[in-house]
Amino acid sequence: MAHSVSSVVNKQLLAYIKESSELMTPKDIYVCDGSAEEYHTLCELLVKQGIFTKLNEAKRPNCYLARSNPADVARVEKCTYICSEKEEDAGPTNNWMAPAEMKAKLNGLMKGCMKGRTMYVIPFSMGPIGGPISRVGVEITDSPYVVVNMCIMAKVGKKVLDLLGVDGTFVPCTHSCLAPLEEGQKDSTWPCNIDNRYIVQFPEEHRIVSVGSGYGGNALLGKKCYALRIATVLSREAGDSLAEHMLILGITNPQGKKYYITAAFPSACGKTNLAMLNATIPGWKIECVGDDIAWLKIGKDGRLWAINPESGFFGVAPGTSYKSNPNAMKSCEKDTIFTNVALTEDGDVWWEGMSKEVPKGKIITWLGKEWSADSGEPKPNLAHPNSRFTARVENCPVGDPGYYALEGVPVSAMIFGGRRENTVPLVFQSRSWKHGVLLGSSVASETTAAAEAAAGQLRFDPFAMLPFCGYNMGDYFGYWLSFADKYDEAKLPKIFHVNWFRKDNGRFLWPGYGENSRVLKWIIERVEGKEGIAKETPIGYLPAKGALDLSGLDVPEADMEKILTVDCKAYLSEVEKIRQYHSKFGSHLPKDLIAELDALEQRLKAA
Ligand code: GTP
Ligand code: SPV
Ligand code: MN
């Protein structure tokens, strides 16, 4: 396929390309066709530019390593804006600026910003091309690193242009590193503009502009900017859809019956791990549809159906090993882009937690510095804590066939969870959909390295969507609640809450990872309506004594007791914190949610 603009027929796209190139004045324009050949050519270009290091072909076929600017390593929430016409519509959890003011600022920054660079045009589909839940976007970027990552994370190229035809519409997603190249100027190995990073969503126009950062969620605009922030807005407009920070997994019981579960955990809190886990209990099988984002829609049958809008995994590297997540390790054995991990002497990658022993020989750290175990120097972080792999869904050994289904998969259960060292039990079920919305709205978690800021601090992260909701979060709670009024609750997924992260003196009380399959088994048995496996408590239904399958598991009974008991006193103080947090939504806080919290308090006081 031709890569020139003359191959484009779509009216909106032609106008978008024209307007973009007039503003940003690139040296040339390249329309991506999404072919394997194009991917290889761009990877070679990235190697030539010093942005990519090709890894050892015998050990990691078709794999590359990129090292970012040390200051451009994660999402930057303080630079992320929802620019709605009214500040109130962005709500208290988002940064806001008036659209006109933001556009003036961006236009100033973007004038001539692609000088000396190629402007890439990436037509992409989130979800199967032409599927009823899928949506189209076009990213314009001056970063070939972004192009190759988008080629893994979304469905890119000619088929999308064909789908758009002459009159089809799409969400325009403009990205620039804001690093114009003067004649003869030597390029940086990670072009960016740290002091001018703006990740901007215009919810009313369904438009995205992101400048200054080349990193993941800031720059791969199909991901968090489109598939969450803009898609939350589109989903509410549709009235029957949701866009969530959720994994999707298929789970088959020993009788061969299959169910689908989605789960929302905050960034770096275990979605990839749960989505790909190998069950430790005999006869149960888990397969992966997606590990980060779910688009959901009410089907003709009244059930909620889900697709994974992505086609790759942008997964956290540290902590991933053949022991903790063998399927993620296998997914990145080939055809993978690694960002900010360490390079070993034999041309392979390494990160903290991949193996007990640090590999022998010379290591190049994520900062590009040499280090070796026998150098006598103290070991620095060899990989950045938020280093990532970009791997293809097709290479996941436990990929679920449901991933390819145009209409998605029917969801039986939804799980919320966070990183909580105390108070929150291993698992419990909500009393109803609306009570489940209360659970989602009060997810709190210790912060991680996935966003720039101090890690390890407890913060509320409702629905694991704090940085990703494109409108007023109070209205988002209301929209979630409305599903119980609009649809038959019996057909909606059952809602659960989990916590793999309870601690005692710094030690995890629950072994987690593959053992989490035991919790999934209980959840499915609840969905099936199995009797006698739950006890009612003030916070919801917990596993009854002996109902959680612990066969062959070596966890002290006292530890299990701790993580399966409700501490009503601690929960009453939790209620106070939730009430205080909710109060920031003012008149946007739905009455039904206040009623759910009041009822929880009453039940706790009565216990
Ligand atoms: P994003 O891609 O940032 O949205 O993150 P994610 O939710 O997919 O997180 P991921 O599965 O990559 O997990 C991140 C961290 O949580 C890793 O360091 C894991 O080792 C750790 N983790 C995952 N599951 C468990 C578990 O069951 N128990 C414990 N203790 N740690 C876990
Ligand atoms: C997250 O931070 O939740 C991620 C990584 O999944 S990023 O795509 O950078 O947002
Ligand atoms: Mn995520």
User: Residue whose CA is closest, atom 3 of ligand 2?
Assistant: 267
Paired sense of beta strands 118-126 and 155-156, if any: antiparallel
State pLDDT tens for residues 327-352: 999 999 999 999 999 999 999 999 99
Output the DSSP codes for 570-594: HHHHHHHHHHHHHHTTGGGS-HHHH
Q: What is the maximum span of the chain, computed from C-alpha positions, in angstroms?
A: 75
Write down the pLDDT at residue 449. 87
Q: Tell me what the mean pLDDT of segment 217-239 comes to.
A: 98
Residues with CB under 5 A from ligand 3 (ion): 267, 292
C-alpha distances in Å from residue 47, one per residue of 144, 391, 414: 11, 19, 43
Closest ligand 1 atom, residue 386 Cα? 3
Q: Tell me what the mean pLDDT of segment 377-388 comes to.
A: 97
Write down the pLDDT at residue 103. 98
Q: Please state, in angstroms and rounded to a whole number, the distance separating the CA atoms of residues 301 and 330.
A: 37
Write down the pLDDT at residue 456. 83
User: Residue whose CA is closest, atom 9 of ligand 2?
Assistant: 217
Q: Name the closest ligand to CA 291.
A: 1
Q: Give the residue, 7 or 85, on which the prediction is more confident.
A: 85
User: DSSP state, 223?
Assistant: I
Q: Is the pLDDT of residue 386 over 70?
A: yes
Q: Tell me what the mean pLDDT of segment 351-378 comes to.
A: 96
Write down the pLDDT at residue 12. 98
Going from the Cα of 271 to the center of ligand 1, the distance in angstroms, rounded, reads 6
* pLDDT band (50, 70, 90) for residue 454: confident
Which residues does the annotation mark as catalytic? 269
* pLDDT band (50, 70, 90) for residue 542: very high
Number of neighbours of residue 112 by Cβ within 10 angstroms: 12
Q: Name the closest ligand to CA 245.
A: 3
Q: Name the closest ligand to CA 315.
A: 1
Residue 262 β-bridge partners: 248, 414
**Pocket flag, ligand 1, residue 325 (CB < 6 Å):** no
* pLDDT band (50, 70, 90) for residue 2: low
Closest ligand 1 atom, residue 316 Cα? 12
**Pocket flag, ligand 1, residue 242 (CB < 6 Å):** no
For 348-420, where are the E strands, in sequence order? 349-350, 363-364, 370-371, 388-392, 409-410, 413-417
Q: Tell me what the mean pLDDT of segment 86-103 comes to.
A: 98
The amino acid present at 202, given as its one-letter code, is F
Write down the pLDDT at residue 1. 52
State pLDDT tens for residues 310-332: 999 999 999 999 999 999 999 99
Q: Which range has the worst mean pLDDT, 315-319, 352-356, 451-455?
A: 451-455
Q: Tell me what the mean pLDDT of segment 437-456 comes to.
A: 90
User: DSSP state, 401?
Assistant: G
Going from the Cα of 217 to the center of ligand 2, the distance in angstroms, rounded, reads 5
ipTM: 0.98
**Tokens (6 digits) for 46:** 């990235």
The rounded percent of the chain whose pLDDT value lies above 90 is: 97
Write down the pLDDT at residue 428. 98
State pLDDT tens for residues 153-176: 999 999 999 999 999 999 999 999
